[in-house]
Amino acid sequence: MHYPLTWRKSSYSSSNGGNCVEVAYQPGHTHVRDSKAPDTGSLTVTAAAWRTFTSTLRPR
């Protein structure tokens, strides 16, 4: 089943041209793209891989 992607910009992104990423979620997958170049494609990873990645970014 195809789900439309709803992209969300990082809450750490600024409006003055900082480095930004956007993510979109689908059941079982997370899509990641550069918000300044959204037409260049995206990276798709499993939901489990995304959780592992983001858990390493959080302070413990």
Ordered DSSP codes for 19-44: --EEEEEETTEEEEEETT-GGG--EE
Structurally, how many domains does the chain consist of?
A: 1
Residue 58 forms part of a structural domain: yes
Residue 29 has pLDDT above 80, yes or no: yes
CB 56 within 8 A of CB 40: no
Residue 2 forms part of a structural domain: no
Measure the CA–CA gap between 60 and 58, rounded to whole angstroms: 6
Residue 1 has pLDDT above 60, yes or no: no
57 φ, ψ (degrees, to nearest 5): -85, -20
Residue bearing the bigger pLDDT, 57 or 16: 57
Residue 55 forms part of a structural domain: yes
Measure the CA–CA gap between 20 and 55, rounded to whole angstroms: 19
Instruction: Grade residue 28 by pLDDT with cuts at 50, 70 and 90.
Output: very high
Residue 31 forms part of a structural domain: yes
The whole-angstrom distance between residue 3's C-alpha and the CA centroid of its chain comes to 16
Residue 17 has pLDDT above 80, yes or no: no
